[in-house]
């Protein structure tokens, strides 16, 4: 039995795969830093250590990353948000436990850690209505709404539908 188990060090490592280019905006880099720190803190609470792996550009390809992790006995991978929404995973990752932060990776089989965007926007709209605001708009780029699988716009449209016939305009 012991011969088939990875060593203690490897058994407690989770890979954290990032793929933003070096010229990413400061806002993106700050968000990535916060995601990484949160993932590291959560991993530590559960007895794991997070090891960061750079993908794309001067980093590893997805196929190479999978081989490196397999060779090192690292069986869990957390994918940070990627620059382009809808990016598919090219590997099957069948030998690893895989999760993604956010919706930017396109895969129906991924476990995800996400903000509940619909609830967040609906809470904001409810608060604005309670404060007496009646002409409420949402200004957001298409790219940002795509990154959250259109949940922000969906929540505004749902709230508008629920308040049709009233004095509020969305």
Q: Which of 82, 86, 142, 149 is nearest to 117 (CA)?
A: 149
pTM for the full predicted model: 0.75
Of 11-25, 56-70, 79-93, 120-134, least confident by mean pLDDT is 11-25
Give pLDDT tens digits for 120-163.
Answer: 999 999 999 999 998 998 899 998 888 888 999 999 999 989 98
The architecture (CATH level 2) of 2-113 comes to 3-Layer(aba) Sandwich (3.40)
**Position 7 confidence tier, pLDDT thresholds 50, 70, 90:** low
d(C-alpha 19, C-alpha 129), whole Å: 40
Q: Hey, which bits of the chain come out as E strands?
A: 13-18, 49-54, 76-79, 87-88, 97-101, 105-106, 111-113
Contact 121, 152 (CB under 8 A): yes
Phi, psi torsion values for 74, nearest 5 degrees: -90, 115
Q: Where are the domains of the chain?
A: 2-113, 117-162
Q: Is pLDDT at 1 greater than 60 in this prediction?
A: no
């Amino acid at each position: 039995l012991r011969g088939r188990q990875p060593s203690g060090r490897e058994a407690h490592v989770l890979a954290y795969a990032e793929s933003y280019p070096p010229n990413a905006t400061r806002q993106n880099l700050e968000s990535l830093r916060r995601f990484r720190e949160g993932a590291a803190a959560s991993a530590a609470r559960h007895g794991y250590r997070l090891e960061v792996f750079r993908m794309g550009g001067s980093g590893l390809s997805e196929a190479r990353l999978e081989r490196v992790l397999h060779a090192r006995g690292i069986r869990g991978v957390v994918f940070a948000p990627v620059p382009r929404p809808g990016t598919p995973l090219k590997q099957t990752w069948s030998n690893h436990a895989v999760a993604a932060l956010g919706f930017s990776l396109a895969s129906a089989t991924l476990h995800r850690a996400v903000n509940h965007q619909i609830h967040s926007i609906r809470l904001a709209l409810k608060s604005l209505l309670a404060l007496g605001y009646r002409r409420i708009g949402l200004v957001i780029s298409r790219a940002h709404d795509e990154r959250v699988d259109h949940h922000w716009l969906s929540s505004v449209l749902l709230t508008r539908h629920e308040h049709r016939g009233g004095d509020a305009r969305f």
